[in-house]
Amino acid sequence: DAGVIQSPRHEVTEMGQEVTLRCKPISGHDYLFWYRQTMMRGLELLIYFNNNVPIDDSGMPEDRFSAKMPNASFSTLKIQPSEPRDSAVYFCASSVGDEGNQPQHFGDGTRLSIL
Amino acid sequence: DAKTTQPPSMDCAEGRAANLPCNHSTISGNEYVYWYRQIHSQGPQYIIHGLKNNETNEMASLIITEDRKSSTLILPHATLRDTAVYYCIVRSFSGTYKYIFGTGTRLKVLA
């Protein structure tokens, strides 16, 4: 079975440019999560969706960050304008149901470097 | 969510059992214990979870103490491919849906 698919795997761009990260969750999963991982802060939850609706975006660092989920099989995380401190690995995860005993399944991430 | 405490690193000989401890002394009755691992350059991989009883699956076993204040993840026959950072997470049964990842245990399996 296909897992969570993220693209691109690597992105290098210059400061000020717009960056769009993409995620395809596991089919049938109704929760989708965006995380960011850095050496300093570890793994942090940025935002999550339930049935394509954003539920909690309290982890989104600034207004430069936005996320959308236009349908059940696709989500984007956009940074505009990008800054060097946004460099990190961004993970997408999905799960089924809203019970605490449902594990999240992660993609392999997008490694973002802002020069 | 309760905080967890794990040793920063451990070594294990290939073929032997790897026992990774986790303390979660402030865990509540409705909070699950989850284990994930992260191999370099990959996303966190779900291993196992439990509430009160010990659990076993094809990857590992999870032993939870009777008072639920600590747990141990057991990889019965560690291989070189099990070298990774292992995260123990305590997660609420309802309400906030956040995993709070700590710094984990860096397990190195030695040939």
State how far the Cα of A91 lies from the Cα of A70, in Å rounded to an integer: 18
- Residue A98 has a pLDDT of 64
The predicted pLDDT at position B97 comes to 66
Whole-number Å distance between alpha carbons of A31 and A96? 6
pLDDT given for residue A101 in this prediction: 78
Q: What is the pLDDT of residues B78-97, one digit of tens each?
A: 999 999 999 999 887 655 66
- Contact list in B for residue A88 (CB cut-off 8 A) is none
Question: Of B41, B44, B49, which is closest to A101 when you measure between CB atoms?
Answer: B49
Q: Is the dihedral of CA B66, B72, B77, B81 positive or negative?
A: positive
Q: Chain B residues with CB inside 8 Å of A104's CB?
A: 46, 99
Question: What pLDDT was estimated at residue B69?
Answer: 94
A66: pLDDT strictly greater than 80: yes
Measured CA to CA in angstroms, residue B34 lies from A101, B62, B71 at distances of: 9, 9, 10
User: Whole-number mean pLDDT of chain B?
Assistant: 91
Question: What pLDDT score does B2 carry?
Answer: 63
Q: What one-character-per-residue DSSP string does B68-89 give? A: SSEEEEEETT--GGG-EEEEEE
Q: Which of A36, A30, A38 minimizes the C-alpha distance to A104? A: A30
Q: Does B101 contact A55 at a Cβ distance shorter than 8 Å?
A: no
Residue length of chain A: 115
pLDDT at site B99:
81
**CA quadruple A17, A9, B87, A33: dihedral positive or negative?**
positive
Considering only the C-alpha atoms of chain A, give the largest distance between any 2 of them, rounded to a whole number of Å: 41
| Predicted confidence (pLDDT) per residue in B15-37, tens digit | 999 999 999 998 888 888 999 99
Residues in A closer than 8 angstroms to B34, CB to CB, are 103
Min Cα separation A1/chain B (Å): 15
Alpha-carbon distance of A112 to A11, in angstroms, equals: 5
pLDDT at B50 over 80: yes
